[in-house]
Amino acid sequence: MTAPANTEKVRRKPLVLGNWKMNGDVATAEQLLSGLLHGERELPALLAGVEAGVCPPFPYIGLAAARLAASQFGWGAQNVAHFDNGAYTGEVSATMLRDLACTWVLIGHSERRAYFGETDAQLSTKVEFAHRAGLVPVVCVGESLAEREASKTESVLAAQINGLCTALASTNERFVIAYEPVWAIGTGLTASPEQAQQVHAFIRSRLVAGSVPGAAGARIIYGGSVKPSNAQALFGQPDVDGGLIGGASLVAADFLSICRAAALRSIR
Ligand code: PEP
C-alpha cells in the first residue's frame, strides 16, 4: 500500500450507522429502539459531536421513524431501487424512503453485490436517485479475502471507486463511503486499525484522482466486525470517520458504546 495518510486538517463529524440486515421482528425492533432511547436519556451528551442512526429492514423503518423522531438518532434504509417509481414489483424507490424521512441509504453492500448481482452501473444509478430524493448515499466498497491475499486490494477498490466517481460527483458533496472488507463482515475478523487507515487513505486518494468534489471532507467509515472492544482503536485513525455496524448494532448497549467511541474521536 502506498497511499499517503490524510494530512489535511479537515474536520469530519464521525458517523455511526447500524445495519440491522434482515434480522428481528416488531418486538425486537421495539426493544432495540427503546434501548437506544434509554441510553440517550441516561447520557444526553452521548451523541455530542457524532451522527448516529439505524438502518432497519424496510417494514420497520416507519417504526424507527416514529420512535426516534424526537431523539438525536437518525434512520435510513439498507437498499434502494435503481428505478424511479413504476412497475417494478418488490422494489422500494428513493422517493418512498424520503417519505419515511430517511437520512441515509446503504448502496452496494457486499451482500447485495454477492447475492443479488448488483452491478457498478446499477449502483451509480442508485446513488443518483438517492441524491435526487434528498437522501445521503452510503456507498459500500471492499475486497474479498482471495483478493486481499492476491495483493489485489488496491486494484479492486480503485475499480469500485472509479466506477462510482461520476455518480458521487453529482451528489453535491453529500455522500459517505463505507469500507467493508468482505472477509471481515460477520466473521469476527477485523481489519487492524493500520490496515483500515491505509485503505481509507487510498480510497480518499482515488476520490481526489477521480475529481470528486468534497473528497477531503467526505466521511469514509469502516465496517467489518466492529465491536465495543475495537471501535476506539479503529476510530482513532485519521481517515476512519466512524463505522457501519452489523452484528453489534443489534445489541443496544454495544451500539451505544461504539457511538461513545466515535464521540471520543470528535473531541480528539
Ligand atoms: C455489515 O454487514 O455492514 C457489517 C459491518 O457487519 P458486521 O459488523 O456484523 O461485520
pLDDT of residue 5: 44
Active site residue 180: yes
In the chain, % of residues over pLDDT 90: 89
**Closest residue (by CA) to atom 3 of ligand 1?**
246
Whether residue 203 has its Cβ less than 6 Å from ligand 1: no
The answer to whether the CB of 104 falls within 8 A of the CB of 53 is yes
Q: pLDDT at residue 131 above 60?
A: yes
Q: pLDDT at residue 168 above 90?
A: yes
Whether residue 16 has its Cβ less than 6 Å from ligand 1: no
Whether residue 19 has its Cβ less than 6 Å from ligand 1: yes
Whether residue 226 has its Cβ less than 6 Å from ligand 1: yes
Q: Which of 51, 118, 147, 180 is the catalytic position?
A: 180
- Tell me if residue 126 falls in helix, strand or coil: helix
In the chain, the amino acid numbered 99 is: D
Among 226, 225, 224, 220, smallest CA distance to 201 is for 220
pLDDT of residue 4: 44
Q: Please name the residue that has the C-alpha cell 447475492.
A: 115
Q: Which CATH class is domain 15-243+254-266?
A: alpha beta
Q: Render pLDDT for 49-82 as a digit per residue (tens, 0 to 9).
A: 899 999 999 999 999 999 999 999 999 999 999 9
Cell readout for 7 is 494530512
Active site residue 131: no
Q: What is the pTM (predicted TM-score) of this model?
A: 0.94
Domain borders along the chain are 15-243+254-266
Q: pLDDT at residue 7 above 50?
A: no
Write the CA distances from 200 to 5, 39, 181, 220, 246, integer angstroms.
Answer: 9, 30, 11, 7, 19
pLDDT of residue 193: 97
Atom index in ligand 1 nearest the CA of residue 109 equals: 3
Q: Render pLDDT for 205-263 as a digit per residue (tens, 0 to 9).
A: 999 999 999 999 999 999 999 999 999 999 999 999 999 999 999 999 999 999 999 99
Backbone angles phi, psi at 80, to 5 degrees: -150, 155
